[in-house]
Amino acid sequence: MHFLSRTQIITAFGAVALVFYVLDLVRRRKLSEDYSLLWMIASLVVAVLGFSTPLLTWITRALGIMGESSTVFAFGLGFATVMLLYLSIRLSRLGQENHALTRELALLRHEVDLLRTAAAPGPPGTAGGERA
Amino acid sequence: MKGGARVLVIVPAHDEEESLPRTLAEVRAVAPAVDLLVVDDGSRDGTARAARAGGVPVVRHPVNLGVGGALQTGFRWAVEHGYDVGVQLDADGQHDPAWLAALLEPVLAGACDVSIGSRYVARTGYRAPVARRFGMVLFSGLVSAVLHRRITDTTSGFRAYNRPVMEVCQHDFPKDFPDAPLLIALARRGFRLQEVAVTMRERRAGRSFYTLGKSLYYPYKNLLASLMALLQRPV
């Protein structure tokens, strides 16, 4: 196996290390399986490109890129962009869900306060659970 | 109110303990038959206490969701409690409840689904800063073009909505500012909108939802959301 440059070596081994780190995160339940998928694909592709010099050279020629290391970085950057966009989408959805839950919680809280007051008639302030 | 229609005045309030009691009292004075609901949108002051002291039910958001979220909670409540019409009224005293009857009239008569209390239908002497005036012309033009109907005050927070509108809005609603995007989305669903001339007052206390930090984000977000409301299929 021969490498074209030092950057190719660093990137290739870095990508392999990332594969194992992602797997370990999933094992320790720090990263959910669905999120890990994109990371696995990204780091595996970069690792394959890093180790397989003929493939890397072929793709570089085919895409008209100057220099093989640029190809590796281009793929990495592409995956990073996809990942960030994906995270933004997930965040937007989380925000919407959070928003809906907050509203639901407020209405339920009010309902609970009413029921408590009705169930335990006593001096005001003892049953309502008010802290305002 | 006439015809036995049940009307709920929804007051979104964020840190409005100073002006809220007078606003509530004013509504009670001019419209005793109308019910009130305060949606406390994550206030840090005694807004909820002020509302309860006035004998008004309060729904409290544990965090601040913005005026759109507060309104949506109010709609949900109104639908669950069987109200026919919901009125949005600011807590800060800008909206004079004396105009409530005029605002409700076309909705109760079935002439429209949403009535908008507008500052600009009649000359009322309200002067806005230049940048704001440009935005108002822009969004008013956009909404008017989409609705084929003149809407001059897209940012007015003094509106009446009938039950079908509230039923839709309790689930699907623009998040931050219920302005031009909301009006376009409602029109695209086939709801009829109408402006009613009102005069507005200076806010008594508290600050505007439209703060300086949002002054750049607002036009961008509102324009984008308006265009998206045009492109989105009505759900």
CB contact under 8 A, B62 and A105: yes
B137 has a pLDDT exceeding 80: yes
How confident is the prediction along chain A (132 residues), in pLDDT tens digits per residue? 677 788 888 888 999 999 999 999 999 999 988 889 889 999 999 898 888 888 989 999 999 998 888 888 888 899 999 999 999 999 999 999 999 999 999 999 999 999 998 887 665 554 444 444
B198: its two tokens? 């009102």
Nearest-angstrom CA–CA distance, B44 and B133: 32
Calculate the CA dihedral of residues B216, A94, B43, B157 and round it to 10 degrees: 50
Which residues of B, range 54-83, sit inside 8 Å of A by Cβ?
57-63, 65, 69, 72-73, 76-77, 80
A118 at interface of B, judged by CB pairs closer than 8 A: no
Nearest to A99 among B58, B65, B76 (CB): B65
Fold (topology level) of B2-231: Spore Coat Polysaccharide Biosynthesis Protein SpsA; Chain A (3.90.550)
User: Tokens 């005793």 identify what position?
Assistant: B32
B1 has a pLDDT exceeding 50: no
Phi, psi dihedral angles at B207 (to 5 degrees) = -125, 165
Give the residue with greater pLDDT, B125 vs A23.
Answer: A23
B51 has a pLDDT exceeding 50: yes
Helix (H, G, I), strand (E, B) or coil at A76: helix
Instruction: Quote the pLDDT of residue B76.
Output: 94
Residues 6+ apart with CB under 8 A from B208: none
Reading phi first (left if > 0) and then psi (alpha if -120 to 50, else beta), residue B9 is in beta
Helix, strand and coil content of chain B, in percent to the nearest 5, comes to: 40, 15, 40
Chain B residues lying within 8 Å of A110, measured CB to CB: 57-60
pLDDT per position as a tens digit, B183-198: 988 888 889 999 998 8
Instruction: Quote the pLDDT of residue A130.
Output: 44
User: Tokens 């009102």 identify what position?
Assistant: B198
Instruction: Quote the pLDDT of residue A127.
Output: 43
Kindly list the strands in the beta sheet with B85-88, ordered across the sheet, starting from the edge strand earlier in the chain. Answer: B58-61, B35-41, B7-13, B85-88, B159-162, B114-118, B193-197
Residues 6+ apart with CB under 8 A from A114: none
DSSP B19: T
Instruction: Quote the pLDDT of residue B78.
Output: 96
**Domain spans of chain A?**
6-90
A61 at interface of B, judged by CB pairs closer than 8 A: no
**Domain spans of chain B?**
2-231
A93 at interface of B, judged by CB pairs closer than 8 A: no
A102 at interface of B, judged by CB pairs closer than 8 A: yes
